[in-house]
Homo-oligomer: A and B are copies of this chain.
Amino acid sequence: MSPTPAAARYGDPDARLDVLNDVVRVQLAHRSVRKFGPREVSDAELAALIAAAQSAPTSSNLQPWSVVAVRDPQRRARLAALAADQQFIAEAPLFLVWIADLGRARRLAARAGAAVDAVDYLETTLIGYIDTALAAQNAVVAAASLGLGTVFVGAIRNRPEEVAAELQLPQHTTAAFGLAVGTPDPEERADVKPRLPQEAVLHVEQYDADAADGHIPVYDERLTAYNARFGLRGNWTDRVIARLKGPESMAGRDRLRETLHRLGLPSR
């Protein structure tokens, strides 16, 4: 018997939700898809994903993002090479590069002869990334509801200047993350990855670190069991430490602050 959506999400046979509907069910069933079938993503599907993305909230209606839809196989191969050689980028029929875009505001202000100096501050860079993420997540859920699989690619931030050159990005814009999109290959060995117990992330009225962190050991056990199913070793704690060890674990992204400055996002 399949586990319930909540049991799969938490890797906990006792986990349950008393409120559930078809939309939340689509969300709970999320998994990353890195193997794709040959079917193209149609223009009509792409339009639905982008309309969903544009329907996400955006700070003061600034809409500070753009997206580049890459289908050209050579360009996808070049982007894969720039993003840690992840071959699924070259294999997915559609690769969306989501752009934190403060350039549109800069350009419209220039046309109006006005200043938009707030663009130079870290706060506005953050709005760019946040609003891009809100939009992209709507596209992810829309894709899942249409039977399409996706996976985010943070490695597009490994070499942002070369990505900017490849996509002809103007000043004051940068690739926030990629999203590979396609029909899931049913042969892929992958499943819903368990998350931290809800008690580890949800605080009531005030943050209680001791109470929350007390739920990490059981999660370490659940993730060890999950990883073992795919021949992988290590618990969550070990993997977080390995990932955040230091600049040497960041694939060049320790230089992102300087790179963003050169791209016109000084983030002061």
Residues of A within 8 A of B (CB): 6, 9-10, 17-24, 26-30, 32, 42, 44-48, 50-52, 54-57, 59-63, 65-72, 75, 99, 101, 103-105, 107-109, 112, 114-119, 121-124, 126-127, 129-134, 136-138, 140-142, 144-146, 151-152, 154, 157, 166-170, 173, 176-177, 193, 195-196, 198, 200-209, 212-213, 216, 223, 236-237, 239-241, 243-247, 249-250, 253-254, 256-257, 260, 267-268
Residues of chain B with a CB closer than 8 A to A134's CB: 133-134, 136-137, 140
Residues of chain B with a CB closer than 8 A to A51's CB: 6, 9-10, 17, 24, 28, 198
The dominant DSSP class at the A interface is helix
Given contacts A213-B104, A247-B118, contact A47 B19 (CB under 8 A): yes
Query: Do A130 and B129 have beta carbons less than 8 Å apart?
Result: yes
Query: Do A116 and B241 have beta carbons less than 8 Å apart?
Result: yes
6 sample A-B contacts, Cβ–Cβ < 8 Å, listed by A number: A9-B55, A23-B142, A62-B244, A101-B201, A108-B240, A123-B254
Query: Do B254 and A61 have beta carbons less than 8 Å apart?
Result: no
Docked pose: A56 CA to B69 CA in angstroms: 22
Docked pose: A60 CA to B195 CA in angstroms: 12
Given contacts A66-B202, A108-B240, contact A118 B249 (CB under 8 A): yes
Query: Do B50 and A27 have beta carbons less than 8 Å apart?
Result: no
Query: Do A116 and B54 have beta carbons less than 8 Å apart?
Result: no
Docked pose: A255 CA to B63 CA in angstroms: 23
Instruction: Return A236 CB to nearest CB of chain B, in Å.
Output: 7
Given contacts A52-B27, A57-B152, contact A257 B268 (CB under 8 A): yes
Which of B114, B138, B177 has a CB less than 8 Å from the CB of A27? Answer: B138
Docked pose: A120 CA to B242 CA in angstroms: 15
Query: Do A50 and B253 have beta carbons less than 8 Å apart?
Result: no
Query: Do B65 and A201 have beta carbons less than 8 Å apart?
Result: yes
Given contacts A138-B27, A216-B108, contact A75 B205 (CB under 8 A): yes
Which of B24, B127, B154, B246 has a CB less than 8 Å from the CB of A48? Answer: B24
